[in-house]
Chains A and B, each alone.
Chain A
């Protein structure tokens, strides 16, 4: 995306119908308020980062958003371009994924004893139809569908750079490749919005650089991305917009420039490697 259109987006953030619009999201765990009245928006085609110190509630936020936790209060609205708005609150995780949100996990959750290709093929599950009888009788429709699943999954693997490993068990991949495989698996669900939970964690600088490029490519394909990340360099270079959380509350939002200079953010991080960025 060109610099001009990004500028346009930034100027018009408030006016456009956002892809994802979250208002008043609150989550209580037996008396402890993990998320407190959170508002957050993601526009179509944006890379949005969610940052904050450890324990700020970022992953909890993802879990609420993807239906793994049931939020105590709040509205989660998804408006795909040119289509009706749908509410995501209270939906089961699989329904959320069907609506077009796909995620990765902070502590990698691949299917370790399945091959790389199969891991990606699982991502196609919610976009395919074959039932038990189809599986037993292998009618033409099922066979065709199965072929398409394999082809599409392989093409995703190619894009992500894991094609050569497609017959390996997921557990045998190196760490960085596992993280990429999680992204590939999420992409296979045809998402509108990709939720990445610390994708660069544990990666070396080379891998992080490749990840940066990968995420940009994905965005250029028309997906929006919401990203939790601790690597400030990556966040600053990638993001169009940043939200900062601390103790379950949003403490700041803005473009990378604004966040870099926000005193509240600096205070929250206590001068933690913000200067590196």
Chain B
């Protein structure tokens, strides 16, 4: 499969990368002390790494090609993805679901508070991912400022609690609604923009929100943030840390279930179909009588609502908010979850959130490489598997008997 020519080319590629990375990876200077450190080993790694990467990609491509050829010749049939096959087999996925459900239920009793706490974070990202999935995955609107709505939710809890003493349960819907209003406010003028412009405008909006929170001290207490935000209470009982984290865990599990339920129903509805269609072809959509702006706005506002609600959870979990938690990187991480999981795919997003949030937590040794990996994930997924880990499965309608 790999010819001599490939190896020659691979050598050239690795030579190129050695050249490319030479100043940054091999030389390290300290301009103050005027010391140069030469790290020749890095050069070796790059040479080996790029060579094997090249061959791996080559082999992968060759396999894809021969596969497609054989599909064309009719030798083999196009394979539905393993995930798709499993999802079609109730005998497999129902026991699996039950197992997952049970596991989720007993999780805080088996694992330490810390593990539970991490799980709460991961679950929050699942909800965020599912929310953004409505916007990016389903409706095809690239929102790079999703974190702004998250911030709106977090700050509405922090501020409403600080000034008016409102509790978690009161603010949860308020935070969602406030975020939704921000979504509509922003969405109204910008949603008619073309996809890539929309992405940039939302990015700008996200930064504006963060900068305002940072600068407007009278309103948000600026960069020093708001502390002592209460955790959600349970009928006025005083909960210890362990208990309140366990409690929060179940709340977030509830939130995840609620989100899955809603997103699933939405996707399989008139509105959901319109979102998918909008992602596929805007013009055809309009020609079919779908109000583009309105449909987009619905998706945008719904996505924002979820971000707002998770924002409230965030403030309650962290008990402290400051603008530093709402940078563009946060939006990028959530986007990464959606892209890795598979645009529009609920199970994919859940899986991706767990992988991307839990893995770095348990591989602390590699935590420095986290953002590097996120970037690489975005690029690789786009090139090799744009449909994501688990491609979205279109619903098959049962035909009513006439």
Contact = CB atoms under 8 A, between A and B. Distances in A.
Contact of A126 (B266, B290, B394, B400): B290
Given A132-B298, A136-B262, A150 B399 contact: yes
Contact of B289 (A98, A110, A112, A118): A98
A123 B394 contact: no
Nearest to A135: B269
Given A105-B284, A111-B280, A135-B271, A125 B290 contact: yes
Nearest to B302: A132
B119 interface: no
Contacts of B402: 151
Contacts of A154: 399
Contacts of B302: 132
B350 interface: no
Interface stretch (A35-43, A89-97, A223-231): A89-97
A121 interface: yes
A117 B397 contact: yes
Interface string A145-159: 111011100100000
A66 interface: yes
The number of chain A residues touching the other chain, given as a range, is 35 or more
Contacts of A58: none
Contact of B394 (A92, A110, A114): A114
Interface in A61-98: 66-68, 92-94, 97-98
Nearest to A67: B286
B22 interface: no
B36 interface: no
A62 B310 CA distance: 46
B253 interface: no
A123 B285 CA distance: 9
Nearest to A172: B78
A118 B287 contact: no
B348 to A, nearest CB: 15
Contact of A118 (B266, B281, B284, B394): B394
Given A103-B287, A132-B298, A122 B399 contact: no
Contact of A130 (B269, B286, B288): B269
A34 interface: no
B194 interface: no
Interface residues of B, number: 31
A118 B298 contact: no
A117 B396 CA distance: 9
A67 B283 CA distance: 11
Contacts of A117: 397
A94 B292 contact: yes
A102 interface: yes
A131 B272 CA distance: 10
Contact of B288 (A122, A136, A146, A167): A122
A114 B276 contact: yes
A12 interface: no
Nearest to B78: A172
Interface in A100-134: 102-103, 105, 109-115, 117-118, 121-128, 130-132, 134
A250 interface: no
A117 B397 CA distance: 8
B51 to A, nearest CB: 37
A97 B287 contact: yes
B280 A112 contact: yes
Nearest to A142: B269
B280 A113 contact: yes
B196 interface: no
A128 B270 contact: yes
18 contacts: A92-B292, A93-B287, A94-B288, A97-B286, A102-B289, A110-B284, A111-B277, A111-B284, A118-B394, A122-B274, A122-B285, A125-B274, A125-B290, A130-B270, A132-B298, A132-B302, A135-B266, A150-B397
Given A122-B290, A146-B270, A154-B399, 19 more contacts: A94-B287, A94-B290, A94-B292, A97-B286, A97-B288, A105-B284, A105-B287, A111-B281, A113-B394, A123-B288, A125-B288, A125-B290, A126-B289, A130-B271, A132-B302, A136-B262, A136-B266, A142-B269, A189-B289
Interface of B: 262, 265-266, 269-274, 276-277, 280-281, 283-292, 298, 302, 394, 396-397, 399-400, 402
Interface of A: 66-68, 92-94, 97-98, 102-103, 105, 109-115, 117-118, 121-128, 130-132, 134-136, 138, 142, 145-147, 149-151, 154, 166-167, 169, 185-186, 189
